[in-house]
Amino acid sequence: MEETAIIEAKATLKYARISARKVKIVADLIRGKNVDEALAIVKFTPKASSEIIEKLLKSAIANAENNHNMNHNKLYVAEIFANQGPTLKRIRPAAKGSAVRIRKRTSHITIVVREAE
Protein backbone atom coordinates (compact mmCIF):
# COMPACT_ATOMS: atom_id res chain seq x y z
CA MET A 1 0.00 0.00 0.00
CA GLU A 2 1.59 3.20 -1.19
CA GLU A 3 0.48 6.40 0.41
CA THR A 4 1.14 9.47 -1.66
CA ALA A 5 1.32 12.72 0.24
CA ILE A 6 -1.23 15.18 -1.00
CA ILE A 7 0.60 18.44 -1.55
CA GLU A 8 -1.56 21.44 -0.80
CA ALA A 9 -1.04 25.12 -0.22
CA LYS A 10 -3.18 27.20 2.05
CA ALA A 11 -3.77 30.79 3.04
CA THR A 12 -5.55 31.90 6.22
CA LEU A 13 -6.98 35.23 7.26
CA LYS A 14 -7.80 35.60 10.93
CA TYR A 15 -10.02 38.21 12.55
CA ALA A 16 -11.54 39.53 9.31
CA ARG A 17 -14.10 42.19 10.20
CA ILE A 18 -17.00 40.55 8.39
CA SER A 19 -19.41 37.91 9.62
CA ALA A 20 -18.76 34.30 8.60
CA ARG A 21 -22.32 34.08 7.27
CA LYS A 22 -21.58 36.72 4.62
CA VAL A 23 -18.30 35.07 3.64
CA LYS A 24 -19.89 31.62 3.20
CA ILE A 25 -22.16 32.92 0.41
CA VAL A 26 -19.17 33.68 -1.85
CA ALA A 27 -17.17 30.69 -0.57
CA ASP A 28 -19.86 28.30 -1.81
CA LEU A 29 -19.59 29.80 -5.33
CA ILE A 30 -15.89 28.98 -5.80
CA ARG A 31 -15.46 25.68 -3.92
CA GLY A 32 -14.08 22.99 -6.27
CA LYS A 33 -13.44 25.38 -9.16
CA ASN A 34 -10.23 25.98 -11.12
CA VAL A 35 -8.31 28.94 -9.60
CA ASP A 36 -8.60 31.12 -12.72
CA GLU A 37 -12.35 30.49 -12.89
CA ALA A 38 -12.65 31.15 -9.14
CA LEU A 39 -10.80 34.48 -9.48
CA ALA A 40 -13.15 35.52 -12.30
CA ILE A 41 -16.23 34.60 -10.23
CA VAL A 42 -14.99 36.50 -7.18
CA LYS A 43 -14.00 39.52 -9.27
CA PHE A 44 -17.55 40.00 -10.58
CA THR A 45 -19.58 39.01 -7.52
CA PRO A 46 -21.08 42.13 -5.91
CA LYS A 47 -20.67 41.06 -2.27
CA ALA A 48 -18.73 42.61 0.61
CA SER A 49 -16.59 39.50 1.12
CA SER A 50 -15.53 39.27 -2.54
CA GLU A 51 -12.53 41.59 -2.16
CA ILE A 52 -11.31 39.76 0.94
CA ILE A 53 -11.64 36.33 -0.67
CA GLU A 54 -9.98 37.51 -3.90
CA LYS A 55 -6.94 38.76 -2.00
CA LEU A 56 -6.76 35.56 0.06
CA LEU A 57 -7.11 33.34 -3.04
CA LYS A 58 -4.24 35.19 -4.75
CA SER A 59 -2.16 34.61 -1.62
CA ALA A 60 -2.94 30.87 -1.66
CA ILE A 61 -1.97 30.67 -5.35
CA ALA A 62 1.31 32.49 -4.66
CA ASN A 63 2.03 30.11 -1.76
CA ALA A 64 1.42 27.12 -4.05
CA GLU A 65 3.71 28.41 -6.80
CA ASN A 66 6.56 29.73 -4.65
CA ASN A 67 6.64 27.38 -1.66
CA HIS A 68 5.48 24.09 -3.20
CA ASN A 69 6.50 24.48 -6.89
CA MET A 70 2.97 23.73 -8.14
CA ASN A 71 1.78 24.44 -11.67
CA HIS A 72 -0.67 27.37 -11.82
CA ASN A 73 -2.69 25.77 -14.64
CA LYS A 74 -3.48 22.63 -12.59
CA LEU A 75 -4.56 24.36 -9.36
CA TYR A 76 -8.10 24.20 -8.02
CA VAL A 77 -9.84 25.34 -4.84
CA ALA A 78 -9.97 22.13 -2.78
CA GLU A 79 -11.35 23.65 0.42
CA ILE A 80 -12.64 27.02 1.51
CA PHE A 81 -14.32 27.67 4.81
CA ALA A 82 -15.13 30.53 7.15
CA ASN A 83 -15.36 29.99 10.89
CA GLN A 84 -16.71 32.47 13.39
CA GLY A 85 -14.12 34.55 15.22
CA PRO A 86 -14.49 36.57 18.41
CA THR A 87 -17.33 39.09 18.52
CA LEU A 88 -16.61 42.71 19.38
CA LYS A 89 -19.34 43.96 21.71
CA ARG A 90 -20.31 47.62 21.54
CA ILE A 91 -23.10 49.60 23.21
CA ARG A 92 -25.47 52.08 21.56
CA PRO A 93 -27.73 54.40 23.55
CA ALA A 94 -31.43 53.69 23.16
CA ALA A 95 -34.73 55.21 24.28
CA LYS A 96 -35.51 55.98 27.95
CA GLY A 97 -31.90 55.80 29.08
CA SER A 98 -31.44 52.15 28.13
CA ALA A 99 -28.69 50.66 25.99
CA VAL A 100 -28.67 48.25 23.09
CA ARG A 101 -25.77 45.88 22.47
CA ILE A 102 -24.20 45.90 19.00
CA ARG A 103 -22.32 42.77 17.98
CA LYS A 104 -19.52 43.35 15.47
CA ARG A 105 -18.73 39.88 14.22
CA THR A 106 -15.39 38.62 12.93
CA SER A 107 -14.39 35.51 11.02
CA HIS A 108 -11.43 33.27 10.26
CA ILE A 109 -11.24 32.41 6.53
CA THR A 110 -9.10 29.56 5.11
CA ILE A 111 -8.49 28.61 1.48
CA VAL A 112 -6.71 25.38 0.46
CA VAL A 113 -5.57 24.81 -3.13
CA ARG A 114 -4.35 21.53 -4.62
CA GLU A 115 -3.03 20.34 -7.96
CA ALA A 116 -5.41 18.30 -10.10
CA GLU A 117 -4.01 15.00 -11.38
C-alpha separations of 113 from 9, 22, 90, 91 in Å: 5, 21, 37, 40
pLDDT digits (tens, 9 = 90+) for 12-33: 999 999 999 999 999 999 999 9
Q: What domains does the chain contain, in order, with CATH numbers?
A: 8-115 (3.90.470.10)
If phi over 0 gives left and psi between -120 and 50 gives alpha, with beta otherwise, what is residue 53? alpha
Residue 49 has pLDDT above 70, yes or no: yes
Q: What is the mean pLDDT of residues 76-91?
A: 96
Model pTM?
0.88
Closest-CA residue to 75 (of 38, 23, 110, 25): 38
Contacts of 114 (CB under 8 A, 6+ apart): 6, 7, 8, 9, 75, 76, 78
